[in-house]
A and B are shown apart, each in its own frame.
Chain A
């Protein structure tokens, strides 16, 4: 019998340990997220206790150094985690639960030892929440243009400005904040660790099209003071640190989008087998089952490329351009599958509470965040050397 495209196919890259971890993640999501996904999305939040539960499975620790409470693990473990989390059909939970995977890597790469000891074990154990704050009201894609300033005054930095669209912004205990410490452009950007209890920091929640369960905030820095030892890496070398983590973030996002697309296929197939029109099941209409076949085609092609690129990363390669385009492949596949899923559900797909309806509302954030589709194409073209320097 041929492979059932509503579940991932066997893969040459996966070992027994990967299969065991998939089983753990599958169970964690089925027990502790999926039953509550619709309610959490409507409530625009989820219990903070989920972080510690997630830490019990090892989910929060993937790929972080063992010395600080992490687990050394190849990129496929991250792919598996993202894909199993996506099965709840509630991207907002994963976005907030894993905001530390974008906030902490600069600290791992360049933070002073004392900072690592203080921050990493607590966050990886799910006791503290970390967020990354780069985007500003005036600039998003163009990171090098950011305006939030940090002025060195004695043994402190004084931060002024604002950040917006920050995932986990309301609940975060630690912020990794991109600030301007030098002149204009990317050569003047630094990263600072900001503890959210500091005076002068205020935050307001934002309401969104999708990802309702995740918390998203605007942050205002009004002369917020942090000690100079909160500098992550060297002054004015923050831009490179920001860029370094994009491979991992984009692989994870692509993995999640592909799994969301697969979930759309699974849900739609189930619905099309049960729902009847004009005397037969929806799946008996050729138009409908051909849509399902087209969904499967896009999903399987995307998954194959995802695994190929995860393997290249595992070999120590740095396939930046391909990962950019994989992200687009994944978001466009999710877009197609979410569209056809909701369309096939008909009016029921437009009603709140179904997975396909939630996924439909989550398409755009994936196509915009972590590098917008337009930016991905340009970055890939440049990386491939198609633009005069």
Chain B
């Protein structure tokens, strides 16, 4: 069966993000970018399914500026077979991405789309759910375990207070949580092999989708700076400060 894995290019998780001076967003120019960590988990899960003989082909998709090709190449080096880049300068929001993905699903007919549960840049946690709704497919979100049995996908989900296992009839949408797996390194031999794997480049118009944003960002601001700590001489002083200065007791 064919798997589709969307991968997003985001500010690297090690980077301390800075808000742009004009409050329009965070600074991304000259900042290290890499694949969204949840998407790496999605790629890893797809590759494992292929290694088990459950999946036959893995198609990775990325959307955004031309540099997203590097994110795709990482997915190819981890084991995806080919890539699709939907190239656009337009800022993409979850609904636009979900609509573009629906168009790709209609073209490629995968049996399953495995997405990260959210991207670490805007933490929307929406694309997988929106795609499921648009396609009318069942969804298993926040997967910490995924087992395929015939035309069923058993998804163990991390929910408040425990684990829940749902059975989905394929085709289906799965979104990954942190504990699903530990992604492999894109190894040197596989990086070399990935150079020869194909990447198709499409425009949103080729898919018949208008990706214009529906939400306007009004302002992005740094969280308030933490005040420096204070040393207290006694328990009485501590209680006094908690009561009268911090006003927490």
In the bound complex, CA of A127 to CA of B74 (Å): 27
With contact pairs A17-B195, A23-B34, A71-B192 given, residues A57 and B187 touching in the complex (Cβ less than 8 Å): yes
- Picked from B30, B73, B185, B189, the residue with its CB within 8 Å of the CB of A16 is B73
Name, among A16, A20, A72, the residue most crowded by chain B CB atoms within 10 Å (CB to CB). Answer: A20
Q: How many interface contacts (CB-CB < 8 Å) are there between A and B?
A: 54
Contacts of A71 in B (CB 8 A): 188-189, 192
Which B residues touch A77, using CB under 8 A? 188
Residues in A whose Cβ lies below 8 Å from that of B240: none
Shortest CB-to-CB span from B123 to chain A, Å, is 22
Across the interface, do B74 and A20 meet the contact criterion of CB distance under 8 Å? Answer: yes
- Contact present for B191 and A17 (CB under 8 Å): yes
Asked if B70 is at the interface of the complex by the 8 Å CB criterion, the answer is yes
- The 8 Å CB contact of A24, one of B14, B30, B191, B195, is B191
Chain A nearest CB from B48 CB (Å) reads 15
Instruction: Tell me whether A239 is interfacial, beta carbon within 8 Å.
Output: no
Q: Which residues of B contact A294 (CB under 8 A)?
A: none
Return chain B residues, CB-CB under 8 Å to A27.
185
In B56-92, which residues have CB < 8 Å from any A CB?
69-70, 73-74, 77
B130 interface residue, CB < 8 Å from A?
A: no
How far apart sit A62 and B76, CA to CA, in the bound complex (Å)? 20
CA distance A45 to B68 in the complex (A): 41
Report if A56 contacts B (CB, 8 A).
Answer: yes
Closest chain-A Cβ to B19's Cβ sits at a distance in Å of 16
| Other-chain contact of A58, B14, B73, B74, B188 (Cβ < 8 Å) | B188
CB within 8 Å of A: which B9-54 residues: 14, 30, 34
Residue A247 is within 8 A (CB to CB) of chain B in the complex: no
Whether B120 sits at the interface, judged by CB under 8 Å, is no
Residues of B near A57 (CB, < 8 A) are 185, 187-188
Q: Are B187 and A24 in contact (CB under 8 A)?
A: yes
| A72 to B192 CA separation, bound complex (whole angstroms) | 9
Which among B14, B186, B188 is the interface contact of A73 at CB below 8 angstroms?
B188
Q: Considering the chains assembled together, what is the distance between the CA atoms of A21 and B14 in angstroms?
A: 17
The residues of A that contact B14 with a CB separation of less than 8 Å are 30
List the A side residues contacting B186 at CB < 8 Å: 20-21, 23-24
If A58-B191, A61-B189 touch, whether A19 touches B70 (CB-CB below 8 Å) is: yes
With an 8 A cutoff between CB atoms, is A59 at the interface?
Answer: yes
In the complex, the answer to whether B191 meets A21 with C-beta atoms within 8 Å is yes
Q: How far is the CA of A339 from the CA of B191 in the complex (A)?
A: 38
- Bound: A23/B9 CA distance, A: 14
**A274 CB to nearest B CB, Å:** 14
A287 at the interface (CB under 8 A from B): no
Kindly identify which residue among B69, B185, B188, B194 contacts A62, using a CB–CB cutoff of 8 Å.
B188
Chain B residues whose C-beta falls within 8 Å of the C-beta of A72 in the assembled complex: 192
Residue A246 is within 8 A (CB to CB) of chain B in the complex: no
Contact of B184 among A1, A20, A21, A56 (CB under 8 A): A56
Chain B residues with CB under 8 Å of A59's CB are 188
What DSSP secondary structure best describes chain B's contact surface? helix
Q: Chain A contacts of B194 at CB under 8 A?
A: 17, 20
User: Range of interface residues on chain B?
Assistant: 10 to 19
Residues of A within 8 A of B188 (CB): 21, 24, 57-59, 61-62, 71, 73, 77
Cα–Cα, bound, A30→B30 (Å): 21
In the docked arrangement, what's the CA distance between A77 and B195, Å? 15
| Chain A residue with the shortest CB-CB distance to B30 | A1
Tell which of B34, B184, B187, B191 has the most Cβ of chain A within 10 Å: B191
CB interface residues, B 191-229, toward A, < 8 Å: 191-192, 194-195
Q: Does A220 contact B (CB under 8 A)?
A: no
Closest Cβ neighbor of B35 among chain A residues: A23
- Bound form: Cα–Cα A71–B184 in Å: 18
In the assembled complex, A28 has its CB within 8 A of some CB on chain B: yes
A225, chain B: closest CB distance, angstroms: 38
**B240 CB to closest chain A CB, in angstroms?**
30
Q: How far is the CB of A278 from chain B (nearest CB, A)?
A: 20
| Residues of chain A lying within 8 A (CB to CB) of residue B189 | 58, 61, 71
Rounded to whole Å, the gap between the CB of B89 and the closest CB of chain A is 20
Q: Which residues of B contact A23 (CB under 8 A)?
A: 34, 74, 186
CB-contacts of A25-73 with B (<8 A): 27-28, 30, 56-59, 61-62, 71-73
Query: Interface readout for A1-26 with B: 1 if CB under 8 Å, 0 if not?
Result: 10000000000000011011101100
Closest to A77 in B: B188
B192 with A17: CB separation less than 8 A: yes
Task: Give A91 Cβ to nearest chain B Cβ, in Å.
Answer: 22
Instruction: Determine which of A1, A19, A30, A56 lies in contact with B187 in the assembled complex, contact meaning CB atoms within 8 Å.
Output: A56
- Determine the chain B residues whose CB is within 8 A of the CB of A30 once the complex forms: 14
Q: Which residue of B lies closest to A58 (CB)?
A: B188
Q: Give complex CA distance A73, B187 in Å.
A: 13
Q: Tell me, rounded to whole Å, the shortest Cβ–Cβ distance linking A294 to chain B.
A: 24
Q: How far is the CB of B105 from chain A (nearest CB, A)?
A: 27
A sample of 24 inter-chain contacts (CB < 8 A) reads A16-B73, A17-B192, A17-B195, A20-B70, A20-B73, A20-B186, A20-B191, A21-B186, A21-B188, A23-B34, A23-B74, A23-B186, A24-B186, A24-B188, A28-B185, A56-B184, A56-B185, A56-B187, A57-B187, A58-B191, A71-B188, A71-B192, A73-B188, A77-B188
Question: Residues on A close to B: CB < 8 A?
Answer: 1, 16-17, 19-21, 23-24, 27-28, 30, 56-59, 61-62, 71-73, 77
Q: Apart from A23-B34, A58-B187, what 14 extra A-B contacts exist at CB < 8 Å?
A: A16-B69, A17-B194, A20-B74, A20-B77, A20-B186, A23-B186, A24-B186, A27-B185, A28-B185, A61-B189, A62-B188, A71-B188, A71-B192, A73-B188
5 A-B pairs with the lowest CB-CB distances in the bound complex, closest first:
A58-B188, A58-B187, A57-B185, A20-B191, A24-B185
